[in-house]
Structure 1
Amino acid sequence: MPKKNTEYGNDSISQLKGADRVRKRPAVIFGSDGIVGCQHSIFEILSNSIDEAREGHGDNIIITRYKDHSIEIEDFGRGIPVDYNEREKRYNWDLVFCELYAGGKYNTNNGESYEYSLGLNGLGLCATQYSSEYMDVEIYRDSMKYNVRFEKGEIAGELQKEPTNRKKTGTKIHWKPDLDVFTDINVPLEYYTDVLKRQAVVNDGILFILRNETDKGFEEQQFKYQNGIVDYVNELAGEDALTPVQCWQGERRGRDREDKPEYKVKLQVAMCFSNRFKIAEYYHNSSFLEYGGSPEKAVKSAYVSMIDAYLKQNNKYLKNESKVTFQDIEDCLILVSSSFSTQTSYENQTKKAITNKFIAETMTEFLKHNLEIYFVENPEDAAKIAEQVLINKRSRENAEKTRLNLKKKLAGSIDIANRVQKFVDCRSKDTSVREIYIVEGDSALGACKLSRDSEYQAIIPVRGKILNCLKAEYDKIFKNDIIIDIIKVLGCGVEVKSKLNKELSSFDLDGLRWNKVIICTDADVDGFQIRTLILTMLYRLVPTLIEEGYVYIAESPLYEITSKDKTWFAYSETEKLECIKEIGSAKYKIQRSKGLGENDPDMMWMTTMNPETRRLIAVKPADVEATANMFDVMLGDNLAARKEFIADFGHLYLDAVDVS
């Protein structure tokens, strides 16, 4: 390919300026240019209002979701400063709305700054303005009302101000995310309800009012937790928790490194144990930490350490028993952590994890200390927790043992000590050419064995009609010798798409020993039913083999037509008529094709096994769900659907009914 005639020189370097810094690269700030990024831009505005309320300026925030996908957030804080800034030589309203890395949260020595803040980087308000189709701002402070409008990241007119009699200060921002920036701005209602509930949980006593515009007007929801995470954990646990809710609070000072500045951390954890429900949520400076980070690390370390120590001290472990893991504890733990710090290291601007070393260390020590006291002062609770954690541990280990044993049973190597009954292997070990024929009965096994190319074609017989896997439970399926034999021979294990049986899943496509899995049954009613049962079994246990095109049906001829020295095989009534037409006036003999077990080896090779002459139908469902529905109609418990199908289509199959 010829090289493009382009030069990379001094003039190749360019710099994004003004609003283009966000509008052309929104994912850098918001983590995505899709709906997730749009949602994060909304949270940036909300977080500023929350910071104001948490500092004691206003106790309610109103969020309005409009039908046109615009948003309005109103708080009753102090109102954004707007006047001229002598130090920066610009108006403050211009700085906060039009300059990245500008805000009131950098100088922690300033009495007016925020001690604990959601927004620390000075990016959110400006970045959201830059990414908006328009933004209208209304500010109340100093007995004045200020208005300013922005369009496409640019100022659309100077700041307007007028006196006002309104007593409450605050800020109202109405904006619409720009489809030129985000690929999707239709933020679902569920996002707002989820975020506002979470913020109510970790901001005690603040009322969040959500107004959602519909065709009938505005629908309103309110979110408030007077006692914050304690009320929330009580709500989650219900009335039948294993232990009462505990809440621990504390403050610490420290630094992430010796040469780094000292900062303050406020810790609050509410928790209880339950044998019915589990959840662990982490918040920092009221931001939900989806990926946890330092607080999650602390919880894992502290809980494993203290519960393991309790179990050892009280001789709860069996002899040579392994120690508990956090998974065993987490399965019965309800915990919400809400921490605040004057300095925060977020993993990135989206604030889904924090990485402060000191927070991880001090929270670990904080939790260990409180757990130790809790266990000493509440011996009955401690005993209940220990018992439940050990139950979880031993259940997990038994499930893992069952899974590994099943995996070994299903995917173990086929050797002399573990040979599948009547399985006939081929010589080649090259999985790109190996074929496995699943045939109907021992007689078909004999005929196929004599007819095959033993270099790459193997055979396993199905003895009678196998279990209907669509209707059977997994424990019954895995006790069926025929099914286990087939799965062993396939070598790839099973896909168990059931929550109750997920530990039994051991599927590995790389373990498949075959290039083709070929179902070969007689061309009669019994053969069709056996073929359907085999397909159902494969669909239920190894659907990926069907979806990836590994499963085939070997089509058997219906008629054998001979004329003089020539033989024709017809696979349908239409083909039979075409053969007769081709023979013309010559005498011919036509007979129904025999079962596979009655065919001579040459005929079997020619019609069923020779790649040059056989007919294979690839089983490749374009719509897996539709396939499952048809299996359910024909073989499942959906009797009404089966009756309807017979009523609609039964007349098409009257000729095939085996009645006299």
Structure 2
Amino acid sequence: MAQGYTEANIKTLSPLEHIRLRPGMYIGRLGNGSHPEDGIYVLLKETVDNCIDEYTMGFGKKVEIDITDRSIRVRDFGRGIPLGKLVECVSIINTGAKYDSETFKKAIGLNGVGQKAVNALAFEYRAQAFREGQTRTVEFLQGKIKKDGKIVAATNGEKNGTLIEFTPDEALFGKDFRFRPEFVEEMLWNYAYLNRGLTLTLNGKAFKSENGLKDLLAKKLTGEPLYPLIHIEAEDIEVAMTHGAHYGEEYYSFVNGQHTTMGGTHLAAFREGLVTTFRNFFKKDYDAADIRQSIVAAVSVRVMEPVFESQTKTKLGSNDIGPGGPSIRLFISNFLQQQLDNWLHRNPEAAQALKNKIEDSERERKELAGIRNLARERAKKASLHNKKLRDCRVHLDSKDKRAEDSTLFIVEGDSAAGSLTSCRDVQTQAVFALKGKPLNTYGLTKKVIYENEEFHLLQSALNIEDGLDGLRYNRVIIATDADVDGMHIRLLLLSFFLQFFPELITNNHIFILETPLFRVRNKKRTIYCYDEDEKQKAVAELGSTHEITRFKGLGEISANEFKDFIGENIRAEKVSLEHLHNSAELLSFYMGKNTPDRQEFIIENLRVEKDLVGA
């Protein structure tokens, strides 16, 4: 019906109003900083990207980043934004120098949107440009100009460049948002690896790389490589790679310095080019999966006017290197067939190790073929009665706008599954119930996935049998009780993922759910506490009339309460391998047989608390 639909219903929003009303179109997600792709990191990235573009063009060898409380300061030493256009460059959408491809030939951002979104989504924003002894400062409040400074003489011999300071708006990001140092440091290391010679500092700590992607791979490896790192490069492309002893494929891909966490055309071309090159070199038609099994690789390309599939630039959509240039597929394929082939000829021992690895993968795949078919038949029959998975409607591989919110909670037992299932978001949250403690998979081959019904059903639920391309959930959250048994189940699951699907961890898909240990309440207020310190503060706040409930397991928490812990205020800690140098050694120590080393560790670290009289 047209009733009530008049000219008054038609509204036109200013760019500022649109950015603040629909921030997801510009920065992807909001979040509180607990996930590396939350919006506050996108704001920082958009700011640093401009500094990197200056360095790429040959201006400025240092970028200073300072984070104090929840405010950001970024200072580069490039050419500085032209003083007469400073206001326009940081506040008027679709304004910038990057439309001029001669000025910024292979820049990260080309749409003139990024820094304007930073300004619009900040509570306070300040920009200052320095050029040839002169400077100008402009200040904004929630995207609206507060102070438009005049051009004046710069003091203290300030070098050319740009200074940006901002504080994300808690009205958008929530009162509890915070920058996590590990996510910021990961971002800065990536900038350093991709821009050799550039020094970035975070609160005085320097990030610099001399060997580019070779340094990146050396830092990411969690075990001994099967052969020395391959490091090859040419104009507009750099590749580092090796194979390990783990399962799966692990990639780090970049375009014009942007970390494309979702891959894109360049990564697809790289994976395809590897297969062609190795088949030609060994003169054998190996299966693509056998060639890529256990690979760890990083690839960086630079293209003219890149087209990304979203403003957050996590997936490349471009098919060509640039106007009049070859396709990305042909460019990368030709590079590998020349440079990688030459490297293999110059390093025959490494080539033989690689050949052995491919043939080992081939043998294992053929051995698995029979049991895999049996497991699939068994799963078909079991799926008619299987109640382990309470699925959601929106998955990561769908085109739904909420695809990145898709989550699978892995819980222990039907009680916890029931509580969580009854209060979850049925659109994006699925639940997988374990029947008890899963099998310890340490030292076992991938054959165990097909022999063990529970692991096979979990693999099927995730849809990762043939790699992460079909992964159905963006976040896999282990939700076990905060007791000894719950910790053991958590360790067994992490061991399983680390051994057979490490890319789930390295691609930031595995999380641990934090649930409250205590509920402190009186007649007027209820406070949930996640540790002893929070409990003591809550007791002090509520006074003598409070009562305390200790939650022993997830099944004890009512559905009405549980919905608060898995909604907007969810606390989920990302599982990371950042500080792990050898995952095989870690698994051996914790999950292997009771070794003397582990016995000694337990004896040295065992603490016995004596019973207190009257406790």
TM range (shorter): 0.5 to 0.7
* Structure 1 counterpart of 2:81: 80
Distance 1:363 1:188 in 2: 35
Q: Say which of 103, 106, 109 aligns to 2:99.
A: 106
How far apart are residue 300 of structure 1 and its match?
A: 1.5
Q: Does structure 2 conserve the Cα–Cα contact (< 8 Å) formed by 1:178 and 1:185?
A: no
Distance 2:212 2:5 in 1: 57
How far apart are residue 384 of structure 1 and its match?
A: 1.5
How far apart are residue 408 of structure 1 and its match?
A: 5.0
Matched AA of 1:16: L
Q: Does structure 2 conserve the Cα–Cα contact (< 8 Å) formed by 1:496 and 1:505?
A: no
Q: Does structure 1 conserve the Cα–Cα contact (< 8 Å) formed by 2:93 and 2:112?
A: yes
Distance 2:279 2:376 in 1: 31
Closer/same/farther in 2, CA of residues 494 and 13 from structure 1, 3 Å limit: same
SS, match of residue 300 in structure 1:
helix
Distance 1:409 1:140 in 2: 69
Closer/same/farther in 2, CA of residues 301 and 494 from structure 1, 3 Å limit: farther
Once the two structures are superposed, the pairs formed by residues 634-645 of structure 1 within 5 Å of their partners are: none
Does the alignment pair 1:267 with 2:237?
yes
Q: Does structure 1 conserve the Cα–Cα contact (< 8 Å) formed by 2:63 and 2:199?
A: yes
How far apart are residue 133 of structure 1 and its match?
A: 0.5
* Structure 1 counterpart of 2:114: 124
Does the alignment pair 1:163 with 2:153?
yes
Closer/same/farther in 2, CA of residues 222 and 397 from structure 1, 3 Å limit: farther
Does the alignment pair 1:325 with 2:291?
no
Closer/same/farther in 2, CA of residues 430 and 19 from structure 1, 3 Å limit: closer
* Structure 2 counterpart of 1:354: 316
Distance 1:146 1:230 in 2: 41
Distance 2:381 2:52 in 1: 59
Q: Does structure 2 conserve the Cα–Cα contact (< 8 Å) formed by 1:130 and 1:153?
A: yes
How far apart are residue 19 of structure 1 and its match?
A: 1.7
Once the two structures are superposed, the pairs formed by residues 185-584 of structure 1 within 5 Å of their partners are: 185-211=177-203, 220-236=204-220, 240-251=224-235, 266-275=236-245, 279-311=250-282, 313=283, 323-326=286-289, 328-357=290-319, 358-399=327-368, 401-406=370-375, 408=377, 496=438, 500=442, 501-507=448-454
SS, match of residue 105 in structure 2:
coil
Matched AA of 1:296: L
Q: Say which of 62, 65, 70 aligns to 1:63.
A: 65
Q: Does structure 1 conserve the Cα–Cα contact (< 8 Å) formed by 2:105 and 2:305?
A: no
SS, match of residue 173 in structure 1:
strand
Closer/same/farther in 2, CA of residues 504 and 350 from structure 1, 3 Å limit: farther
* Structure 1 counterpart of 2:45: 43
Distance 1:408 1:493 in 2: 21
SS, match of residue 74 in structure 1:
strand
Does the alignment pair 1:27 with 2:24?
yes
Matched AA of 1:325: A
Q: Does structure 2 conserve the Cα–Cα contact (< 8 Å) formed by 1:145 and 1:162?
A: yes
Once the two structures are superposed, the pairs formed by residues 599-618 of structure 1 within 5 Å of their partners are: none
Closer/same/farther in 2, CA of residues 330 and 221 from structure 1, 3 Å limit: farther
Q: Say which of 78, 83, 86 aligns to 1:93.
A: 86
Distance 1:302 1:431 in 2: 41
How far apart are residue 502 of structure 1 and its match?
A: 3.8
How far apart are residue 240 of structure 1 and its match?
A: 4.9
Q: Say which of 138, 156, 166 aligns to 1:148.
A: 138
Distance 1:304 1:18 in 2: 46
Higher relative contact order (CA 8 A, sep 6+): 2
Length-normalised TM-score, structure 1? 0.55
How far apart are residue 329 of structure 1 and its match?
A: 3.2
Cα displacement string for residues 336-358 of structure 1 (whole angstroms, at most 9, x for unaligned residues)? 11111122111111010112212
Q: Does structure 2 conserve the Cα–Cα contact (< 8 Å) formed by 1:346 and 1:354?
A: yes
Length-normalised TM-score, structure 2? 0.59
How far apart are residue 373 of structure 1 and its match?
A: 2.9
Distance 1:118 1:407 in 2: 45
SS, match of residue 96 in structure 1:
helix
Q: Does structure 2 conserve the Cα–Cα contact (< 8 Å) formed by 1:496 and 1:504?
A: no
Q: Does structure 2 conserve the Cα–Cα contact (< 8 Å) formed by 1:250 and 1:268?
A: yes
* Structure 2 counterpart of 1:12: 9
SS, match of residue 33 in structure 1:
coil
Closer/same/farther in 2, CA of residues 176 and 187 from structure 1, 3 Å limit: same
Gap regions ≥5 residues in structure 2: 33-37, 320-326, 388-412, 414-433, 443-447, 461-484, 490-552, 559-593, 595-602
- Give the number of the structure whose alpha-carbon radius of gyration is greater: 1
Distance 1:96 1:295 in 2: 31
Matched AA of 2:250: I
Q: Which moved more, 1:280-289 or 1:140-149?
A: 140-149
Closer/same/farther in 2, CA of residues 185 and 410 from structure 1, 3 Å limit: closer
How far apart are residue 195 of structure 1 and its match?
A: 0.3
How far apart are residue 49 of structure 1 and its match?
A: 0.9
Q: Does structure 2 conserve the Cα–Cα contact (< 8 Å) formed by 1:60 and 1:76?
A: yes
* Structure 2 counterpart of 1:133: 123
Matched AA of 1:204: R
SS, match of residue 383 in structure 1:
helix
How far apart are residue 163 of structure 1 and its match?
A: 1.1
* Structure 2 counterpart of 1:574: none
* Structure 2 counterpart of 1:652: none
Matched AA of 2:171: D
Identity rate, percent: 22
Closer/same/farther in 2, CA of residues 249 and 154 from structure 1, 3 Å limit: same
SS, match of residue 181 in structure 1:
helix
* Structure 2 counterpart of 1:180: 171
Distance 1:383 1:231 in 2: 24
Aligned residues: 410
Gap regions ≥5 residues in structure 1: 84-91, 212-219, 252-265, 318-322, 414-428, 433-469, 471-491, 512-535, 541-618, 625-636, 649-660
Closer/same/farther in 2, CA of residues 174 and 279 from structure 1, 3 Å limit: same
Matched AA of 2:55: A
How far apart are residue 65 of structure 1 and its match?
A: 0.9
How far apart are residue 272 of structure 1 and its match?
A: 2.8
Cα displacement string for residues 552-586 of structure 1 (whole angstroms, at most 9, x for unaligned residues)? xxxxxxxxxxxxxxxxxxxxxxxxxxxxxxxxxxx
